A = this chain, B = another copy of it.
């Protein structure tokens, strides 16, 4: 029997990716698609990439109630709007994977620092589990609410946590230089996101401190067991999907880092440590739920680590499904692509 599922905020890029992946999932059945301004239209009118049965489903208004038989809700809404929907869904006994930033923080204080607004439901923060799947499996299995990590933190924390836990990193030298495809900026009509403004150019943004820096530091401390400061610089690139994070790191015993990461992730279906000296490309993960990681030692003290994800899959909708699989007791990799779509 299939689990009935709702997706709220289904017509942005992560919403569309949720529809595509969940419609192919053997145990999930989409019965509700919420949309803000597009309510009343059919799926295929707004997302023509979706075909078959699901494509003629009518998009529900944002405030349209969820049927009782829906057990699982994905919220892909802007922050603060998401919190409202999450609260309602939890109140009616449903499990929730929230793809917004609303429940990613441990306290309402860091949330406010990062997002500049007061948290609407600070009491709910304690109930949320931070869904970096590889590092919170047990908690996720029993969670009612999973806060799906941001794309930049996912690509940063996966390589970082084992090194932090091993205590081989200098606390203050964590430099995170990330490069993201344009889909990370969302689907709203802004001049600076027009094709001709993004195409054939690269720029940094979000300085001096991007919102995701708080999330990185908070979970580096919690999961890596070490207080750190990150210097994080994101860039936007002329490509639709993909995120590459270059970590410029210092510490001790860099010769051991490759085996440290290799052993940590040896049995993970979605984390691949490349042979020492090999470097990943976003092109080889785009379309998959994988994170590929390359380690290059510069000398005894310095190393460069490069990690790649598809920002819409492992960085958003794919990890959300990975978490939902855990919450519902399914095989963690169910319905998730392991191979990239290449070229």
Asked if A49 contacts B201 (CB within 8 A), the reply is no
A203 → chain B closest CB, angstroms: 4
Stretch among A119-127, A130-138, A236-244 lining the B interface: A236-244
Asked if A237 contacts B238 (CB within 8 A), the reply is yes
8 A Cβ contacts from A291-339 to B: 292, 294, 296-298, 302, 304, 306, 308, 337-339
A50 / chain B contacts, CB cutoff of 8 Å: 339-340
User: How many angstroms from the CA of A306 to the CA of B19 in the assembled complex?
Assistant: 26
Stretch among A67-75, A79-87, A175-183 lining the B interface: A175-183
A244 / chain B contacts, CB cutoff of 8 Å: 202-204, 235
Asked if B239 contacts A246 (CB within 8 A), the reply is no
Check: A197 CB closer than 8 A to any chain B CB.
Answer: yes
**Shortest Cβ distance from A304 into B: residue:** B233
User: How many angstroms from the CA of A241 to the CA of B286 in the assembled complex?
Assistant: 14
Stretch among A58-66, A103-111, A158-166, A186-194 lining the B interface: A186-194
Check: A341 CB closer than 8 A to any chain B CB.
Answer: yes
A277 / chain B contacts, CB cutoff of 8 Å: 207-208
Asked if A194 contacts B189 (CB within 8 A), the reply is yes
Smallest CB-CB A-B distances: 8 pairs: A201-B283, A49-B342, A49-B340, A203-B281, A196-B343, A195-B198, A48-B284, A207-B296
Cβ-defined partner of A302 (8 Å) among B20, B231, B238, B304: B231
Given contacts A179-B179, A193-B194, A196-B187, contact A202 B342 (CB under 8 A): no
User: How many angstroms from the CA of A298 to the CA of B284 in the assembled complex?
Assistant: 34
Given contacts A175-B248, A196-B13, A244-B204, contact A209 B298 (CB under 8 A): yes
8 A Cβ contacts from A145-189 to B: 175, 177, 179, 181-183, 187-189
User: How many angstroms from the CA of A196 to the CA of B52 in the assembled complex?
Assistant: 23
**Shortest Cβ distance from A274 into B: residue:** B48
Asked if A239 contacts B201 (CB within 8 A), the reply is yes
User: How many angstroms from the CA of A57 to the CA of B282 in the assembled complex?
Assistant: 23
Given contacts A182-B195, A195-B195, contact A341 B49 (CB under 8 A): yes
Cβ-defined partner of A338 (8 Å) among B52, B183, B197, B202: B52
Asked if B182 contacts A286 (CB within 8 A), the reply is no
Cβ-defined partner of A248 (8 Å) among B231, B242, B285, B294: B231
A100 / chain B contacts, CB cutoff of 8 Å: none
